[in-house]
Chains A and B, each alone.
Chain A
Amino acid sequence: MLNKLLELIHQGGSLTPITLAQQLDTTPTMVEMMIDELTRRGMLKVSEFEKNCDPESCGSCYLTKTCHSKTQRMWTTSAKK
């Protein structure tokens, strides 16, 4: 199952746990768990994109204090296969 997921990921392109779940005929939660597994094994790299501002660096923007603090997770393939 993990190998099938890896095959799909290595085909490249933009993916989501939902689209991967459809292709693997499983649930998005299962895909997220497997993505986490591959990340733990160093096969994927996770980036957490903070959608909130850094008050020090974004101080020049007047909306800094009202920025949302939400995290968006993204994964990309790493050199390890």
Chain B
Amino acid sequence: MNLYHEFRQRSVSNGIKKETLSIALAGQPNMGKSTIFNLLTGLNQHVGNWPGKTVEKKEGEFQHNDHTIHLIDLPGTYSLSANSPEEIIARNFILQEKPDLVVAVVSAANLERSLYLVSELIVLETPLMIVLNMIDVAEQEGFTVDAKTLQAAIGVPVIPMIASRASGVRGLLDYFDQFIEGKLEFFPRLPQISADHQYVKELIDQLIDGFVPDYYPKNWASMKLLEGDSEIYDILKSVLPLERWETIDDILKQHEDAGLAIASGRYEWIERNVRAAVNRPKLGQVGLTDRIDRFATHPIGGLILLAVILGLTFWLTFSIGTPIQEWMDSKILVPLGSLAQIWLIDAPAWVISLVVDGVIGGVGAVVTFLPIIIIFFAAFGFLEDIGYMARAAYVMDNFMHWMGLHGKSFLPLFLGFGCNVPAVMGTRVIESWPARILTILLAPFVPCSARMAVIAFIAPAFFGRNAFLISWGLILSSITILMIVGVILNKIFFKGERTAFIMELPLYHIPNLRSAMLLIWQRSLSFLKHAGTIILMMSIVVWALSVFPGGDLETSFLAQIGNFVAPVGEWMGLDWKLTVALITSFMAKENAIATLGVLYGRTAEFGLLETISMTYSPAVGMAFMVVTLMFIPCAATVAVIKQETGSWKWTIVNIVLMLVVSIGAASGVYAIASRLGL
């Protein structure tokens, strides 16, 4: 008899003459095997360990008609390979102890995975029954499994059951009766090995004939040998004459792909049975995911969707966040500054200046970001929760591939929209060092939430109703520049070929509102803490530099620093104040606004936005936003780049690269905008 014929010889159970019947329950973990064991044995069970192992052994007995049924709950295993102690225990029990019957418990809700073990059990000589458990869960998930069709397809009895509700136990016991009485017929249809490997198996069969220990079926042993099963390999090596073993070993080395052919046969067998028995109308979650993904992961459609989603995020920001931010600025911060001046009327002038200009002007301006940044947190949290972010990364990855970039690069890069620090950290997943360096160099080009918040703060000052379109355009331009820089760097550092890249995409699902709100709350608190520490400290430093040594801003240390770097700022149309604001953003991107808050202070009439919109032209505003988007990364990101590259050289390369690109782009934008009369 050949194990890999389509049909095994039809067999009929001979009936059980003895009084005690031994039945083994096999199955993968979490298929409900233990529930069935408990249902059948009740309290009459014994728990111990398998001999010489720390794996739990459960046995029990129950009376059924005139028979005592001894039930053994085998350890949960995914296959019968020798990969784990559980798998070795399960297969050795079936092969060596030879129970009268094996009952495989499979889940209707996860039939493909469950059937893998069955594809291995069915080739053993012990009679097999299948309990098709969790049919209710499958129905809840939108599909059904026809037990009768599955029985016809596999050729062994299939008993539907809902073990959690004790439904189907009677049916199982009826099948036990038929088995005991010898009325049950088995027509097992077995997995096939491809014809081009059949002769190899037959050759091995001949060579091991007469040497296989009695408890191992010869066909099974030769199959496991071809699969590279370490236990069977060692056993046969120890019992076969050396010369014969060397012949076998040579054959195995020449046909390493035979194992793949055997596994392939199992998957084809599973596929055939699932296709026959599962009725899956395309209405479920997978169907929905499939339909959405046809557009969401399309190379062009996916990019358009991504651009629209980014645009919607900004639209929401300007429709909801900006009005609240402006209200907080004019109705809270401006009056608060005036009140502070009244409260501190008897205090020294420097204290009033510190509180009003340094703390309220600096930190206060950043705190008004909160409504804007909450929308970013909510939008990105929502996209993550529904499962879209992985699609966005996939779509961008597809796009990056067109330009020769490495496949794994974009997933960490995508994290950069939240914060560049985890984006740099995330490059650890890239094994190739050149590809990793390239990704690290690109990560700070991704506009992080802090930089987007700065843009969202400034844009309305210069562009009013068009702020949304300008910001959206700037973000898309920033991503485009990232790609162009990536392509150029890739040509220099990493000439990678188009390697395959498979990415797991989660199913779309409705986000949990409570979790989303909790995340927004936690992140808002973190942001306020950030404002109350780093931003506060920097605001005080900027304030101190702006009032010392003589109390006059134009002759202050800050002005001296600003005037020193002003020539570079002039290329972009920035005066020394904007240039200094840009430099302070190195500590944290929000500091750019805090510094402007300190430098421009607050008047009774105007908030910060009105003041800067009256001071600078839209061309200057545009250039400032462009340079802010791509300016050198913040100190936290620089520290992580140094840590991850282990090199100052690459850290400095990154800083210089970003300086050149940001100043170059902002200068170009300023020149064009000025010529257009903005």
| 28 pairs, CB–CB < 8 Å, chain A vs chain B | A1-B268, A2-B260, A3-B264, A9-B502, A16-B504, A17-B505, A19-B297, A22-B290, A26-B271, A27-B286, A28-B286, A30-B112, A33-B112, A33-B267, A34-B267, A35-B502, A37-B263, A45-B431, A54-B425, A60-B421, A60-B636, A62-B530, A63-B419, A63-B526, A68-B384, A74-B407, A74-B502, A74-B504
Q: B270 at the A/B interface (Cβ < 8 Å)?
A: yes
Interface of B (DSSP majority class): helix
Expressed in whole angstroms, the Cα–Cα distance for A48 and B451 within the complex equals: 29
- Chain A residues with CB under 8 A of B635: 60
- Chain B residues with CB under 8 A of A51: 415, 422, 426
CB pair B271–A18 under 8 Å, yes or no, is: no
Interface of A (DSSP majority class): mixed
Name the interface size band of chain A. 35 or more
Q: A29 at the A/B interface (Cβ < 8 Å)?
A: yes
Known contacts A1-B271, A54-B425; A61 and B636 CB within 8 A of each other? yes
- Chain A residues with CB under 8 A of B498: 12-13
Which of B110, B401, B425, B526 contacts A57 (CB under 8 A)? B425
Shortest CB distance A39–B (Å): 10
The size of the chain B interface, using a CB distance under 8 A, is 59
Shortest CB distance A15–B (Å): 5
CB pair A75–B523 under 8 Å, yes or no, is: no
Known contacts A14-B394, A49-B412, A53-B425; A61 and B419 CB within 8 A of each other? yes
Chain A residues with CB under 8 Å of chain B are 1-3, 9-20, 22, 26-30, 32-35, 37, 41, 44-45, 47-51, 53-54, 57-58, 60-68, 70, 72-77
- Name 6 extra pairs, CB < 8 A, besides A34-B267, A66-B522: A14-B398, A18-B505, A27-B274, A49-B426, A61-B636, A74-B407
Expressed in whole angstroms, the Cα–Cα distance for A20 and B297 within the complex equals: 13
Chain B residues with CB under 8 Å of chain A are 110, 112-113, 116, 259-260, 263-264, 267-268, 270-271, 274, 286, 289-290, 293, 297, 384, 390, 394, 397-398, 401, 407-408, 411-412, 415, 418-419, 421-422, 425-426, 429, 431, 497-505, 519, 522-523, 526-527, 529-530, 534, 635-636, 639-640, 643
CB pair A14–B425 under 8 Å, yes or no, is: no
Query: Which of B112, B116, B426 has the most C-beta atoms of chain A within 10 angstroms of its own C-beta?
Result: B112
Expressed in whole angstroms, the Cα–Cα distance for A10 and B418 within the complex equals: 34
CB pair B519–A66 under 8 Å, yes or no, is: yes
Closest to B407 in A: A14
- Chain B residues with CB under 8 A of A3: 260, 264
- Chain B residues with CB under 8 A of A63: 418-419, 523, 526
CB pair A57–B522 under 8 Å, yes or no, is: no
- Chain B residues with CB under 8 A of A49: 408, 411-412, 426, 429
Expressed in whole angstroms, the Cα–Cα distance for A74 and B503 within the complex equals: 5
